[in-house]
Amino acid sequence: MKIAGGHLSGKIKGFQAMKRYPEYKESGVEWIGEIPQDWELKKIKYMQSDLIGGVWGSEPEGNENDIYCIRVADFNYVQLAISTHNLTLRNIPLKERSKRTLRVADLLVEKSGGGEKSPVGRTVMFDGGIPRPSVTSNFISKFTAKSDLCFPRYLLYCLCFLYQIGLTRKHIKQSTGLQNLDIDSYFQERIPFPSLVEQTQIANFLDRKTGQIDELIRIKERLLELLAEQRTVLINEVVTKGLDPNVEMKPSGVEWIGEIPVHSEVKRLKYVADLNMGQSPPSEEYNSNQFGTPFLQGNAEFGPHHPMPKIYCPTAKKYASPGDILLSVRAPVGAINVADQEYGIGRGLCAIRPRTDQLERRYAKYLLEVVRTELHVVATGTTYDAVTVDKVSNMTCVVPSLSEQTQIANFLDRKTKQIDELISAEQRKVELLKEYRQSLIFEAVTGKIDVRSEI
């Protein structure tokens, strides 16, 4: 998305481009660009008061000192608020929480944690919808917007956008591992400030518009869930019941499979495919310089169909060949990809090579999408989700004739492609809505659009 300059307002049906202010001036800040003539730029630090870190306390003791301690995991990034599900009780004496107790409209900024894909610096607002006193954990700082200068939700939207464009990154002291946001440095950043009345108008406009966009996103994400469910049901039905609705059926002997066509057989995976469980060399033997064979530790490098390797290893002990089905045997158990080249494989993966006199390769992949249900069952309840080679090799397979396997694979290739294209189109719509949401916040808080008449 282009930040300064053009916006996406006219690209999504139902949201029309809005008018601009009569006059503008240069802000002198690159990411902001020009702002309305009568707006100012102010440092964040002048808009906040009562900045204080959190506290973790001790285990609950069943007395009046048991209160909720808000974690980063409780942040609702869509609504920019606290999620009230699964809040954590901690025992925190009054003297430790007196200055930390949250009040309505307090802003909470993540100061520690994060990672390469999710840097620290996210901000949400406390709306007071919690039935007992609350504080933040020591990974979060809370502060109050100065009510005579700043409308809290306007400041919240500004900080939200600073995070979205990655401005918090330059105020993070570490690039890997546990990150710490230098809040004193971060709050030196300048943001646009119109009058208090106009801040309120902008925040109210964004509350309404982002609420509409979020509802559209929710509907489309539910549609994506339904399409994924439809795809799963289709594959399960065709693999276990075949393509002929009038074929004679017989009991499979397996409860979750039910009846199968009379001419199909039930076999263990080990009798129709060869299995190769991965093995992990020492981590110091990995590299990112493309020296050696592309190496996969687990499913983290899985793509939509084929892996997208990030590391290489010249000393891999186990390999997958092109066409092998790669099955994740560690959390999440059951993820599947197909090898499009030779890969070294670590202990998080099993390479499955169908025996061509027993399984058609494409059918084998659809079959594994069905029978991996057994792996989910056996993996449940362990310290972490993982399954052994014995569990994988004994998975139950429905095996019709090779000619019918080919017919099934051809049918599912065609049908799943149609569903996948629908999923891809809806995912793109969700991406556009999220881009538009971000663009709308930027344009409103920097004055690129005049929303005063939209309230």
Q: What is the DSSP string of 137-188?
A: -TTEEEEEE-TTT--HHHHHHHHHHHHHTTGGGGGBS-SSSSEEB-HHHHTT
Supply the mean pLDDT for the chain.
91
- Give the DSSP letter string of 205-244: HHHHHHHHHHHHHHHHHHHHHHHHHHHHHHHHHHHHH-S-
pLDDT of 47 above 80: yes
* Segment (H or E) for 107: strand 107-110
> Tell me, what's the pLDDT at 79?
87
pLDDT of 14 above 90: no
Question: Length of the chain, please?
Answer: 455
The stretch 227-256 carries a mean pLDDT of 95
The stretch 50-74 carries a mean pLDDT of 94
Q: Shortest CA distance to 434 belongs to which of 199, 164, 200?
A: 164
> Tell me, what's the pLDDT at 111?
93
**CA distance linking residue 342 with residue 411, whole number of Å:** 28
> Tell me, what's the pLDDT at 8?
42
pLDDT of 7 above 50: no
| Amino acid at site 148 | D
Cβ(154)–Cβ(205) below 8 Å: no
> Tell me, what's the pLDDT at 380?
54
Max CA distance (Å), the chain? 80
pLDDT of 398-446, one tens digit each? 999 999 999 999 999 999 999 999 999 999 999 999 999 999 999 999 9
> Tell me, what's the pLDDT at 345?
97
The stretch 227-231 carries a mean pLDDT of 97
**CA distance linking residue 443 with residue 451, whole number of Å:** 10
pLDDT of 382 above 70: no
**CA distance linking residue 210 with residue 444, whole number of Å:** 12
| Amino acid at site 33 | G
- Give the DSSP letter string of 305-369: SSB---EEETT-S-EE-TTPEEEE-BSSTT-EEE-SS-EEE-TTEEEEEE-TTT--HHHHHHHHH
Q: Shortest CA distance to 399 belongs to which of 266, 271, 273?
A: 266
Reported as half-sphere exposure (CB side, CA atoms, 13 A), residue 153 has a value of 19
> Tell me, what's the pLDDT at 12?
46
- Name the percent of the chain lying above pLDDT 70: 93
pLDDT of 388 above 70: yes
The stretch 194-223 carries a mean pLDDT of 96
The stretch 265-294 carries a mean pLDDT of 95
**CA distance linking residue 55 with residue 137, whole number of Å:** 5
**CA distance linking residue 92 with residue 60, whole number of Å:** 9
Distance of CA 436 to the CA centre of its chain: 19
> Tell me, what's the pLDDT at 209?
95
The stretch 252-276 carries a mean pLDDT of 95
Q: Shortest CA distance to 370 belongs to which of 238, 251, 175?
A: 238
**CA distance linking residue 247 with residue 263, whole number of Å:** 9
> Tell me, what's the pLDDT at 15?
46
The stretch 128-133 carries a mean pLDDT of 86
- Name the percent of the chain lying above pLDDT 90: 80
pLDDT of 2 above 80: no
Cβ(329)–Cβ(318) below 8 Å: no
**CA distance linking residue 38 with residue 44, whole number of Å:** 19
| Beta pairing class for 66-70 and 134-136 | parallel
Domains of the chain: 1-14+196-248+403-455 (1.10.287.1120), 40-193 (3.90.220.20), 265-399 (3.90.220.20)
Give the confidence band of 379 by pLDDT, cuts at 50, 70, 90.
low
pLDDT of 77-86, one tens digit each? 888 999 888 8
Contacting residues for 189 by C-beta, under 8 A, at least 6 apart: 43, 44, 162, 167
> Tell me, what's the pLDDT at 325?
97
pLDDT of 5 above 80: no
CB atoms within 10 A of CB 175: 9
**CA distance linking residue 161 with residue 448, whole number of Å:** 14
